[in-house]
Amino acid sequence: MKALRYLLVKEYKQMFRNYLLPFFFVVLPFAMVNVVPRIATQEIKNLNLAIIDCDHSTLSARLMQKVSASEYFNLFAVCDNYNQAYDLLQRGDVDFIITIENEFERNLYRTGGAEVMVTVNAVNGMKGGLGNGYLTQIVMQYAGELSAENGTSVKHPVSVEPRYLFNPGIDYKPYMIPALMSMTLVLLVGFLPALNVVGEKERGTIEQINVTPVGRIEFILSKMIPYWTVGLFIVAFSMILAWKIHGVVPAGSIPLIFLFNIVYIFVISSLGLTVSNYSENMRQAAIVMFFFVVIFVLTSGLISPLSSMPDWAQEATRLNPLRYIIAAMRDIYLKGSTFPQLISQFIPLCIYGIVAGVWAVVSFQKNS
Amino acid sequence: MTDKIVIKAEGLTKQFGDFVATDHVSFEVREGEIFGFLGANGAGKTTAMRMLCGLSQPSDGKASVAGYDVAREHEQVKRHIGYMSQKFSLYDDLTVEENLKLFGGIYGMTPAKVKEKMADLLQELGFASERRTMVKSLPLGWKQKLAFSLAIFHDPKIVFLDEPTGGVDPVTRRQFWELIYRASDRGITVFVTTHYMDEAEYCDRVSIMVDGKIEALDTPANLKQMFGVSTMYDVFYTLARKAKRGDG
């Protein structure tokens, strides 16, 4: 293991002489933690709306005011007829059309009920669903107000008051940031090792190494350890950014976050090195890694919850190391989960680490 | 030169699919010898050399280098040899000094020993001022000399040189061969492939490979006599024009 020291000196020097890499190590976490949570939000705001007011009454005007005062909606146009509004929807200018019926005010006074039609563009299901929910809420509120004013009904409207645990504001950021940290790591300490060994193959320097008696474990460790340290730096740096920029701090233990990430970085950099060992050139390695990264990210629960996937897909995600770390990071950050509570995430990661580590060493061939 | 055999190949063969790159070659190299390994492009020289260096597994036959079997004990073989590949393979983004320290360390040399040998080597090559120069900014001839010096830095028993003077000017080639002689004087066996027939004349013994087989093996003087010609170029030409394989 004496040679390891010399190999490490070499790897660190090469890493920091490459002017691009250290730049990435700082800029990418910054972009991921600072920018992505702002742009990849699932809150729906600024929905464009067209209203057809067939009634032209005081009550219909009040409804229009209430809707356009909401932070969720912009009143894009008031139309005279449905065709005109539908045309706007077709063109993509608006996503919602509210039609207030002809005898809106009269019906309300006479029967205590009136109709409002909502047309929703559901091409983006999430946007449509949420927007419809918001609209319904506003209309119901308005109905409640009206009945209170008229004294037509004294009974309190039924309302559900949910209590949100762990993330009281249902803020998107504390949920996304811990997961984005894990994704940043895949891009840096998973992807870069994949280009490393194969890069030495392309430059021919691997020949000079292969003809020495250097051990395979030593060589692979010399490739792994620099990414390990860089990965842990990125975790620390991302945590500081999350705290300073968004005020997001873990509810649970920081050492536990590092424990998980030590294992996780080992897993992904081993996978990267394995891909590198099998590849003949950098392009090949990059394509294979790209495939893995996309699949890993999509099936990790980062964007869509695992529990809503079909059973077979849920089973398949067990092969995804990202799944375990994202679950663990979110639980530590939001719920303050402790090690015993996360053991079911920790053990699979460790098994994955052993398999990937052994594979990375075995696939490195000094003699073919 | 002694009578001790340090490289022994018996029916050494490497096959890639249907293509037999090296076809049952047998030869012996004695300790301290400068052994020239000649052949046209695609004759199978590099393949044979890679097997002897423990980089490639023989498909058939066997060979021993420094007393170790190249198929089974390749990591032992590697302890006792130096190798300079056809393609320059030192780290471009490390300095001269850093490359020497790295490979010295890999071969288990102590830092004190590395320092001492490095001072001698840089002195000998006239590289003292380039110690902290990035390897990528050295001229080709200097790179080749450095690569050779690095291949023998850990005092191996045998050094394998694969076309070490390819693309180098005649003056530098001459200097390069002086380095080879100096290494040979220190008792290092030199196994060298080349395309330059003047270089073949510098070797103690020469083998000529044609289409994966060794067609001739003797001292340059004996070969010239055997073929009734006056230069190694004619010997080579007589044998190599029979080759059916082209560039490859």
* Residues of B engaging A, defined by a Cβ cutoff of 8 Å: 53-57, 74-76, 78-79, 81, 83, 85, 87-94, 98, 101-108
Give the total number of structural domains in chain A.
2
CA distance A324 to A342: 9
Whether residue A159 is contained in a domain is answered as no
The verdict on a CB contact (< 8 Å) between B106 and A14 is: no
- Any CB–CB contact under 8 A between A16 and chain B? no
Q: What domain range is A79 assigned to?
A: 47-150
What distance in Å separates residue A220's CA from the closest CA in chain B?
14
Q: What is the DSSP letter of A286?
A: H
Measured distance CA(A15)–CA(A223) in Å, rounded: 11
Among candidates A14, A207, A214 on the partner chain, residue whose Cβ is nearest the Cβ of B89: A207
B88–A367: do the CB atoms touch at under 8 Å? no
CB nearest to A3's CB, from B74, B87, B105:
B105
CB B7 within 8 A of CB B52: yes
Least confident of A157-161, B51-55, B77-81: A157-161
Q: Which chain A positions have a beta carbon within 8 Å of B54's beta carbon?
A: 211, 366-367
Same domain, A247 and A308: yes
- Give the angle subtended at the CA of A128 by the CAs of A124 and A132, to the nearest 5°: 175
Q: What is the mean pLDDT of residues B180-199?
A: 92
Per residue of chain A (368 residues), give pLDDT as tens.
Answer: 789 999 999 999 999 998 888 899 999 999 999 988 888 766 677 888 899 988 888 888 888 888 888 888 888 888 888 888 888 888 888 888 888 888 888 887 887 777 888 888 888 777 788 788 888 888 888 888 877 777 655 444 455 555 666 766 567 788 889 999 999 999 999 999 999 999 999 999 999 999 999 999 999 999 999 999 999 999 999 999 999 999 999 999 999 999 999 999 999 999 999 999 999 999 999 999 999 999 999 999 888 788 888 899 889 999 999 999 999 999 999 999 999 999 999 999 999 999 999 999 999 999 88
A211 interfaces chain B, CB cutoff of 8 Å: yes
Cβ–Cβ under 8 Å, residues B161 and B148: yes
Residue A155 in domain? no
A366 contacts on B by Cβ (under 8 Å): 54-55, 74-75
Residue A81 and residue A7 in one domain: no
pLDDT mean over B167-190: 92
Shared domain check, A227 and A200: yes
A309 and A209 housed in the same domain: yes
Contact call for A367 and B55, based on CB within 8 A:
yes
Query: Which site among B14, B89, B135 would you substitute to test the A interface, given the most A Cβ atoms closer than 10 Å to its Cβ?
Result: B89
pLDDT recorded at residue A151: 65
The pLDDT of residue A155: 43
Strand B68-69 and strand B60-65: the pairing is antiparallel
Same-domain pairing of A36 and A103: no
3 state SS for B223-238? HHHHHCCCCHHHHHHH
What pLDDT is recorded for position A333?
94
- Domain end marker among A150, A183, A209: A150
Are A22 and A54 part of one and the same domain? Answer: no
Residue A295 belongs to some domain of the structure: yes
Q: Given A116, A150, A184, which residue is the final one in a domain?
A: A150
Q: What are the backbone angles phi and psi of residue A238, rounded to the nearest 5°? A: -65, -40
Q: What's the confidence (pLDDT) of residue B244?
A: 79
Distance CA B218, CA B222 (A): 6
**Residue A163 lies inside a defined structural domain of this protein:** no
Q: Euclidean distance between the first and final Cα of chain B, in Å?
A: 35
A365 CB near a chain B CB, below 8 Å? no
Distance CA A132, CA A242 (A): 33
Considering the domain architecture, whether residues A51 and A14 belong to the same structural domain is answered as no
The per-residue pLDDT for A80 is: 86
Residues A12 and A55 placed together within one structural domain of the fold: no
Identify whether the C-beta of residue A286 lies closer than 8 Å to the C-beta of residue A195: yes
Tell me which of A150, A180, A207 is where a domain ends: A150
How far apart are the CA of B90 and the nearest CA of chain A, in angstroms?
A: 6
Task: Identify the closest residue of chain B to A8 by CA–CA distance.
Answer: B102
> Closest Cα of chain A to B102: distance in Å?
5
A128 and A263, same domain (yes or no):
no
Q: Using the beta-carbon criterion (under 8 Å), do A207 and B93 form an inter-chain contact?
A: no
**Confidence category of residue B1, pLDDT binned at 50, 70, 90:** low
pLDDT interval class at B116 (50, 70, 90) = very high
Looking at the complex, report in whole angstroms how far the Cα of residue A205 sits from the nearest Cα belonging to chain B: 4
pLDDT in tens, B126-138: 888 999 999 999 9
CATH of the domain at A138: 3.40.1710.10
Check if A156 contacts B (Cβ < 8 Å): no
Strands of A96-100's sheet, edge to edge? A73-79, A47-53, A96-100, A116-120
Give the other-Cβ count within 10 Å of A120's Cβ: 17
Q: Tell me what pLDDT residue A154 has.
A: 40
Q: Which residue of B has its CA nearest to A12?
A: B94
Contacts of A212 in chain B (CB under 8 A): 78, 103, 106-107
Length of chain B: 248
Dump pLDDT digits (tens) for B7-47. Answer: 999 999 999 999 999 999 999 999 999 999 998 888 889 99
Tens of pLDDT, residue by residue over B139-157, are: 988 999 999 999 999 999 9
Asked if the Cβ–Cβ distance from B87 to A204 is below 8 Å, we say yes
**Chain B nearest C-alpha distance from A215 (Å):** 9
Q: Which of A49, A34, A35, A37 is nearest to A127 (CA)?
A: A49
> Would you say residue A217 lies in a domain?
yes
Is residue A157 assigned to a domain? no
Both A297 and A176 in one domain: the answer is yes
Res A161: pLDDT: 58
ipTM of the complex: 0.91
Tell me the shortest Cα–Cα distance from B57 to chain A, in angstroms: 6
Q: Any chain B CB within 8 A of the CB of A212? A: yes
B104 to chain A: which residues are within 8 Å by CB? 6
Asked if the structure places residue A166 within a domain, the reply is no
Claim to verify: residue A7 and residue A69 sit in the same structural domain: no
A76: in domain: yes
B61's torsion region: left (phi>0), alpha (psi -120 to 50) or beta? left
Quote the Cα angle for B84-B86-B88, to 5°.
75
pLDDT for res A42: 64
Burial class of residue A81 (count of CB atoms within 10 Å of its CB; 0-12, 13-18, 19+)? exposed
pLDDT band at B246 (very low <50, low <70, confident <90, very high): low
A73 and A216 inside one domain: no
pLDDT band at B168 (very low <50, low <70, confident <90, very high): confident
Which pLDDT belongs to residue A175? 87
Render B197-233 in DSSP notation, one character per residue: HHHHHTSSEEEEEETTEEEEEE-HHHHHHHHT-SSHH
pLDDT given for residue A156 in this prediction: 43
Strand runs labelled E in chain A? 47-53, 73-79, 96-100, 116-120
Tell me whether A20 touches chain B (CB under 8 Å): no
Q: How far is A17 from chain B (nearest CA, A)?
A: 7
